[in-house]
Structure 1
Amino acid sequence: MRYGTPIYIGVTVLLAGGFALTCHQLYGWPGDWVALGLLAFIGALTWWLPSTSSDGLSHFTADNVVVLAAIPIVGPVGAGVVGLVMAALTRRRIALHRRVFNMAMASASAMVGGIFYDLAGGSFAVDDLQGVGPLILHVGLPIVVADAANLFANAVLVAGVIRLSAGVPLRLQLVDMLTSSGFTQFAYGIVAFVVVVMWLPGNLGPVAVLVGLAPLAGARWALLQYGEEREARERALGALVAAIETRAPELEGHSARVSSLAAVMARDLGLRPKEVADVRTAGLLHDLGTVVVAPGQEGLDHRRSAVLRGAAMLQDLPFLEGASAVMEQVAYAGPDVPAPTLAAEVVRVADDYDLLLHGEGIGPSEALERLRTRTFGSDGDRVVAALVRAVRARDDASAGGSTVGA
Structure 2
Amino acid sequence: MWNRWLFRKMDNSPLIIFRIFFGFLVACESFGAIATGWVHRNLIAPRFTFPFIDFDWLQPLPGVGMYIYFAVMGLLGLFIALGYKYRFSIILFTILWAAVYLMQKTAYNNHYYLLVLISLFMCFVPANKNYSLDTKKHQEKQTDAMYSYVKWFIVLQLFIVYVYASIAKLYGDWLDFSMIRILMQPVADYPFIGEPLQQDWAHKIIGTTGILFDLLIIPALLWRRTRKTAFFLSIFFHLFNAIVFQIGIFPFLSLAFNVFFFEPKTIRKLFFRKKKAYTANELVIPKYNNTLLAVMSIYFSIQLLLPVRHHLIADNVLWTEEGHRLSWRMMLRSRAGKGQFKLVNNDTGKETIIKPAEFLNSSQQRKVFAYPDFAWQFAGYLEKEYSKNGEDISVYLENSQVSINDRPYAPFIDSRTDLANTPWLRFTHHEWILPSQLEDK
Could you say whether these structures have the same fold, taking a TM-score greater than 0.5 normalized by the shorter chain as the test? Answer: no
Determine which structure has the larger strand proportion and give its number: 2
Question: What range describes the TM-score normalised by the shorter chain of this pair?
Answer: under 0.3
Structure showing greater Rg:
1
TM-score (norm 2): 0.21
Determine which structure has the larger helix proportion and give its number: 1
TM-score (norm 1): 0.22
